[in-house]
Amino acid sequence: MIRYAKPTSIEAALALLGEGSWRILAGGTDFYPALGNRPPREDILDINGLGELRGIAETPDQVIIGARTTWTDLICHDLPAAFDGLKLAAREVGSVQIQNMASIAGNLCNASPAADGVPPLLTLDAAVEIRSTASSRFLPLDRFILGNRRTALQPGEMVTAIRIPKPSTAGTSAFFKLGARRYLVISIAMAAARLVIADGIVKQAAIAVGSCSAVAKRLTGVETALRGIAVADIATAIATAELSELAPIDDVRASAGYRREAAREIVTRAVLAAADPPSANAVAA
Amino acid sequence: MSARGEIVFTVNGSAVTVSAAPVQRLSSVLRDELRLTGTKVGCDAGDCGACTVLLDGEPVCACLVPAASVAGAHVRTVEGLGNGRLSALQASFLRHGAAQCGICTPGMLMAATALLERNPHPAEDEVRDALGGVLCRCTGYRKIIAAVMDSARPGSGLDLGLPPAGHAVGASPIRLDGIAKINGTEKFGGDSFPADALALAVIRSPHHHARFAFGDLEAYQAEHPGIVDIYTAADIPGENRFGVIPPFADQPALAEGSTRFRGEAVAVIAGEPDAIASLDLSAFPIAWTELPALLDTETAQTGDAALLHAGRPGNLLTQGFVEHGDPEAALAAAAHIVSDMIETSYVEHAYIEPEAGFAHMDGDTLVVTACTQAPYMDRADTARLLGLPPEKVRIVPTATGGGFGSKLDLSVQPLVGLVALKTGRPAALCFTRDESMTSTTKRHPAAMRATIGADAQGRICGMVFSGDFDTGAYASWGPTVANRVPVHASGPYVTPNYRALGRAIHTNGPISGAFRGFGVPQATICQETLYDALAIKAGIDRLEFRLKNALRNGSETVTGQLLEEGVGIADCLEALKPHWQRALADAGRFDAENGHMKRGVGVASCWYGCGNTSLPNPSTIKLGISPEGQVVLHQGAVDIGQGSNTVIAQIAADALGVPLTLIALRSADTAITPDAGKTSASRQTFVSGKAAEKAAKSLREKILRFANVSDHAALSLEGCLLIIREGDATRRIGLSALTPDADGLVFTAEETYDPPTAPLDAKGQGTPYAVFGYGAQIAELEVDLKLGTVKLVKITAAHDVGRAINPLLAQGQIEGGIAQGIGMALMEEYIPGRTENLHDYLIPTIGDVPPIETILIEVPDPEGPFGAKGLGEHVLIPTAPAILNAIRHATGVPVTKIPATPSRIRAAIREAGR
Instruction: State whether A180 and B827 contact (CB < 8 Å).
Output: yes
CA distance linking residue B578 with residue B520, whole number of Å: 28
pLDDT at B239 over 60: yes
CB A45 within 8 A of CB A16: yes
B540-547 average pLDDT score: 98
CATH superfamily placement of domain A171-276: CO dehydrogenase flavoprotein, C-terminal domain (3.30.390.50)
CB B49 within 8 A of CB A97: yes
Best interface-test mutation with B: which of A47, A183, A187, A253 has the largest number of B CBs within 10 A? A183
* pLDDT of A284: 45
Closest by Cα among B259, B783, B200 to B472: B259
Closest by Cα among B150, B34, B38, B10 to B92: B150
Instruction: State whether B49 and A188 contact (CB < 8 Å).
Output: no
Name chain A contacts of B829, Cβ cutoff 8 Å: 252
B513-518 average pLDDT score: 98
Helical (H) or strand (E) element with A224: helix A220-226
Instruction: State whether B3 and A25 contact (CB < 8 Å).
Output: no
Closest by Cα among B15, B19, B38 to B29: B19
B318-353 pLDDT per residue, tens = 999 999 999 999 999 999 999 999 999 999 999 999
Name chain A contacts of B68, Cβ cutoff 8 Å: 4, 6, 46, 48
Name chain B contacts of A181, Cβ cutoff 8 Å: 826-827, 842, 844-845, 847-848
B97, B471, B795 from B806: Cα distances, Å: 11, 35, 21
Question: Which residue of chain A is at minimal alpha-carbon distance from B830?
Answer: A252
* Cross-strand bridge partners of residue A5: A45
* pLDDT of A277: 79
Instruction: State whether B280 and A252 contact (CB < 8 Å).
Output: no
Q: How many CB atoms neighbour CB A41 within 10 A?
A: 10
Domain range list for chain A: 4-167, 171-276
Instruction: State whether B280 and A39 contact (CB < 8 Å).
Output: yes
B432, B842, B901 ranked by CB distance to A37: nearest:
B432
Contact of A262 with chain B, judged by CB distance below 8 Å, is answered with yes
Supply the pTM of this predicted model: 0.98
**List of residues 6+ apart from B155 with CB closer than 8 A:** none
B556-582 pLDDT per residue, tens = 999 999 999 999 999 999 999 999 999
Contacts 24+ apart (CB under 8 A), B561-564: B561/B766, B561/B767, B561/B768, B561/B769, B563/B772
CB B305 within 8 A of CB B284: no
A28-69 pLDDT per residue, tens = 999 999 999 889 999 999 999 999 999 999 999 999 999 999
* pLDDT of B158: 75
Instruction: State whether A258 and B59 contact (CB < 8 Å).
Output: no
Name chain A contacts of B23, Cβ cutoff 8 Å: 4, 25, 40, 44, 46
CB B46 within 8 A of CB B64: yes
Q: How many CB atoms neighbour CB A285 within 10 A?
A: 12
Give the E-state strand segments of B88-217 in sequence order. 198-204, 210-214
Helices (H) and strands (E) in chain A, counts: 12, 14
Instruction: State whether B1 and A39 contact (CB < 8 Å).
Output: yes
B814-831 pLDDT per residue, tens = 999 999 999 999 999 999
Helical (H) or strand (E) element with B336: strand B336-343
CATH number assigned to the domain with residue range B5-80, chosen from the 4 options 3.40.1390.10, 3.40.50.1010, 3.10.20.30, 3.40.190.10: 3.10.20.30
Name chain B contacts of A258, Cβ cutoff 8 Å: 788, 902-903, 906-907
pLDDT at B84 over 80: no
CB B212 within 8 A of CB B287: yes
Nearest C-alpha of chain B: how many angstroms from A210? 16
Contact of A23 with chain B, judged by CB distance below 8 Å, is answered with no
Phi, psi of A53, rounded to the nearest 5 degrees: -85, -5
Instruction: State whether B49 and A254 contact (CB < 8 Å).
Output: no
CATH number of the domain located at residue range(s) B619-753 in this protein = 3.30.365.10
* pLDDT of B425: 98
Nearest C-alpha of chain B: how many angstroms from A65? 21
Contact of A34 with chain B, judged by CB distance below 8 Å, is answered with no
* Cross-strand bridge partners of residue B313: none
Instruction: State whether A253 and B903 contact (CB < 8 Å).
Output: yes
Closest by Cα among B448, B443, B447, B435 to B512: B443
The B210-214 sheet, strands edge to edge: B258-259, B210-214, B286-290
Nearest C-alpha of chain A: how many angstroms from B861? 39
Phi, psi of B116, rounded to the nearest 5 degrees: -70, -30
Contact of A181 with chain B, judged by CB distance below 8 Å, is answered with yes
Please report, as a single letter, which amino acid is at residue B760. Answer: L
Name chain A contacts of B907, Cβ cutoff 8 Å: 255, 257-258
CATH number of the domain located at residue range(s) B442-612+762-911 in this protein = 3.30.365.10
Best interface-test mutation with B: which of A93, A97, A212 has the largest number of B CBs within 10 A? A97
B1, B47, B281 ranked by CB distance to A184: nearest:
B47
* pLDDT of B41: 98
Query: For all residues of chain A together, what is the average pLDDT?
Result: 96
Instruction: State whether B902 and A178 contact (CB < 8 Å).
Output: yes
B65, B280, B835 ranked by CB distance to A101: nearest:
B65
Contact of A178 with chain B, judged by CB distance below 8 Å, is answered with yes
Query: For all residues of chain B together, what is the average pLDDT?
Result: 97
Closest by Cα among B565, B666, B679 to B619: B679
B613-621 average pLDDT score: 95
* pLDDT of B156: 60
In three-state secondary structure terms, A63 is strand
Domain range list for chain B: 5-80, 88-183, 198-292+366-439, 442-612+762-911, 619-753
**List of residues 6+ apart from B195 with CB closer than 8 A:** none
Name chain A contacts of B902, Cβ cutoff 8 Å: 178, 180, 188, 254, 258, 262
CA distance linking residue B582 with residue B780, whole number of Å: 11
Report CA Rg, chain A: 19
Name chain A contacts of B45, Cβ cutoff 8 Å: 32-33, 36
Q: How confident is the model at residue B153 (pLDDT cuts 50, 70, 90)?
A: confident
CA distance linking residue B780 with residue B886, whole number of Å: 7
CA distance linking residue B914 with residue B902, whole number of Å: 15
* pLDDT of B456: 97
CB A136 within 8 A of CB B99: no
Instruction: State whether A184 and B1 contact (CB < 8 Å).
Output: no
A27, A256, B10, B62, B78 from B75: Cα distances, Å: 17, 45, 6, 10, 10
B137-147 pLDDT per residue, tens = 999 999 999 99
Helical (H) or strand (E) element with B652: helix B644-656
Cα B793 to chain centroid, rounded: 25
Contact of A95 with chain B, judged by CB distance below 8 Å, is answered with yes
Intrachain domains A4-167 and A171-276 with the same fold: no
**List of residues 6+ apart from B676 with CB closer than 8 A:** B619, B620, B621, B635, B636, B637, B638, B668, B684, B688, B691
CB B684 within 8 A of CB B644: yes
* pLDDT of A285: 44
Cα B159 to chain centroid, rounded: 28
pLDDT at B159 over 80: no
Instruction: State whether A97 and B902 contact (CB < 8 Å).
Output: no
* pLDDT of B914: 65
Please report, as a single letter, which amino acid is at residue B766. Answer: G
CB B858 within 8 A of CB B807: no
First to last CA, chain A: 43
Nearest C-alpha of chain A: how many angstroms from B293? 20
Contact of A267 with chain B, judged by CB distance below 8 Å, is answered with no
Angle, alpha carbons A219-A220-A225 (nearest 5°):
105
CA distance linking residue B450 with residue B749, whole number of Å: 50
B692-714 pLDDT per residue, tens = 999 999 999 999 999 999 999 99
A94, A100, A188 ranked by CB distance to B902: nearest:
A188
Percent of chain B residues past pLDDT 70, beyond the cut: 99
Instruction: State whether A28 and B66 contact (CB < 8 Å).
Output: yes
* pLDDT of B1: 57
Q: How confident is the model at residue A281 (pLDDT cuts 50, 70, 90)?
A: very low
B294-321 pLDDT per residue, tens = 999 999 999 999 999 999 999 999 999 9
**List of residues 6+ apart from B703 with CB closer than 8 A:** B625, B715, B722, B724, B747
Looking at domain A4-167, which CATH architecture does it have?
2-Layer Sandwich (3.30)
What DSSP state is assigned to residue A183? S
pLDDT at A282 over 90: no
**List of residues 6+ apart from B752 with CB closer than 8 A:** B618, B619, B620, B691, B694
CA distance linking residue B332 with residue B327, whole number of Å: 8
CB A266 within 8 A of CB A89: no
In three-state secondary structure terms, A219 is coil
* pLDDT of B155: 64
CATH number assigned to the domain with residue range B88-183, chosen from the 4 options 3.20.20.70, 1.10.10.10, 3.40.50.2000, 1.10.150.120: 1.10.150.120
CATH class of domain segment(s) B198-292+366-439: alpha beta
Nearest C-alpha of chain B: how many angstroms from A117? 18
Contact of A2 with chain B, judged by CB distance below 8 Å, is answered with yes
Interface of A with B in 62-81 (CB under 8 A): 72
pLDDT at B199 over 50: yes
